[in-house]
Chains A and B, each alone.
Chain A
Amino acid sequence: MEQNLPDELYLRYRTVIETAVDGIITIDSSGVIESVNPAACRLFGYTREELEGRTVNMLMPSPHRDAHDSYIQRYLDTGEKRIIGIGREVKGMRKDGTLFPFWLSVAQIQLDGNFGFTGFIHDISDLKQAEEEIRQLNVDLEKKVNERTEQLAEVVNQLLSSNKLLEREIRERRAAEEALNKNRDELLRALDRERELSELKSRFVALASHEFRTPLSTILSSASLVKRYAELGNTEKQDFHLEKIRMGVNHLTGILNDFLNLTKLEEGLVEANPEPFNFTDFAAEIIDEISGLAKPGQRILWSDRTDGQEVRLDRRILKNVMYNLISNALKYSDRDVQCRSGFSSGWLEVEVRDHGIGIPETDQKYLFDRFFRAKNALNIQGTGLGLNIVRRYLDLLGGDINFTSREGEGTTFTLRLPIAKA
């Protein structure tokens, strides 16, 4: 191509173009290739002769191949730069039909009033390859990461579920341990209770033993004395001691019965068997039977306000209770004993009052204890079991008992029983 340039400069420019690494192609305004540099030929795989004079879209794959003409036209019409001065990544088609990526930058030429364009082709195959490799690597990496993540997730899951199993096992173990401890505690408590009961029983047996041996001593010693007085011919003394023996045996029998009753009550062997009966008749019966225990001049006065109404209670147990209270009243006093009975707000109330020795205040809280004898009662015979039995009987019948007392003045016992009117 001829130029109006000094040869030296022309040569220089030409060398630059000829030796450029990037392909340089010039086309006219209709897209016909005017010139190509060796790099361009090399890139596209054509010879110079094969390219020059042909339309440039032979180097493009569809769809650009067909559209290229319109691109040029559009630019010429609108002047809108899409690629000119900007550059873009495009795909080129080699002679052998293979495609390769390159960076295309286009410049506009104007020579002698004719438009033309220069395209600079920068092969980015390697770049693309590298990009692709990186991409592939990334993909692989992603995949690997996913796989590993999956694996990790699985391991974590396993660990979690293993953990859960362990936790559950720990919980179960702990629960078992607690249950065991509770069991042990319960056993210990049961053992303590048993021990307590056993101690109480021992003490009870020791106390009872004493209570039996004392009247037995009286009986035995009186028997010896009877023999002695028989030898001495003293019949008065003989009778005296025979009477002592008789009373001793009675006392012993009383203790024995009380003791047996108490044992039965303690073991829960006593049951209340309620039956309907007339309380007024019942009261009369008791007075009749118990008068034998009264001292000379002592009377039992009973003011009954149940008006012959029938009540439903365990008659036998109630009799025991009344006997106990009234015989106490007779025993611990010299004067008349007054009883009262009546209904009061749904209860059967019975009162036994005496004007005897009374109960010292400090002893009052122990009165219902087993074997308890108040200090002012010690010279009067008694087992100390009666009131304890009375209270237990009343518990059995669903009732209660209370008393008021003043030492030296007397005592009043009041018991209440729930009545289911027959």
Chain B
Amino acid sequence: MKKILIVEDNHDVRENLAEILELSGYQPITAENGKIGVEKAMQDPPDLILCDVMMPELDGFGVLHIISRNQRTADVPFIFLTAKAERDDFRRGMSLGADDYITKPFDETVLLQTIETRLKKSERLKAASAPNGGSGSLERFINEAKAMEAIRHLSDNREVRIYR
């Protein structure tokens, strides 16, 4: 089950988000401000981060800034979910490297769609750069080829009957 970190200071919104995600088959982790958000992300890197912008202690932009500098968390898909709906805010968020930017009030369908899309993309990217045999597809091919070889040797030491 995919872990999703929710960083949001408003209690109601946070709780509702957690419920929505849970009902959709994800495992939500919550943080009530940016500082705690970063801590939890470092501790146990989630599969996706949903982050508000206006928060005490550390705001959303600050969170992204720190997350993206840490190797463990830099590749985690990051979605801003915020009431800051001006174009400048949007541009700032995207320039910092967010994967998406959703404004409040948010549509549940849109949110879930975006999460799904980002998770899929993240999966593909992870597979493409898998550590054991960095050349993922090549590895598979060779393995497959080896398997083909093995099949050939199946008939070694066995009586071969040919039917035409």
Contact = CB atoms under 8 A, between A and B. Distances in A.
B12 A248 contact: yes
B94 interface: no
B129 interface: no
User: Secondary structure at chain A's binding surface: helix, strand, loop or mixed?
Assistant: helix
Contact of B10 (A218, A220, A224, A375): A218
A295 interface: no
B107 interface: yes
A249 to B, nearest CB: 12
A375 B56 contact: yes
Contacts of A222: 12, 16
A111 interface: no
Interface string B42-67: 00000000000010100000000000
Contact of B20 (A215, A225, A232): A225
A220 B106 contact: yes
Interface residues of B, number: 23
A206 B89 CA distance: 11
B36 interface: no
Contacts of A232: 23
A23 to B, nearest CB: 126
B104 A379 contact: no
A218 B54 contact: no
A243 to B, nearest CB: 11
20 contacts: A206-B84, A209-B83, A210-B54, A213-B83, A215-B12, A216-B104, A216-B105, A217-B10, A217-B83, A218-B12, A218-B13, A219-B105, A220-B105, A220-B106, A221-B106, A228-B20, A228-B23, A248-B12, A375-B56, A379-B11
Given A222-B12, A378-B56, 17 more contacts: A206-B86, A210-B84, A212-B83, A213-B83, A213-B103, A213-B105, A217-B83, A217-B105, A218-B12, A218-B13, A218-B16, A220-B108, A221-B17, A225-B19, A244-B12, A375-B56, A379-B32
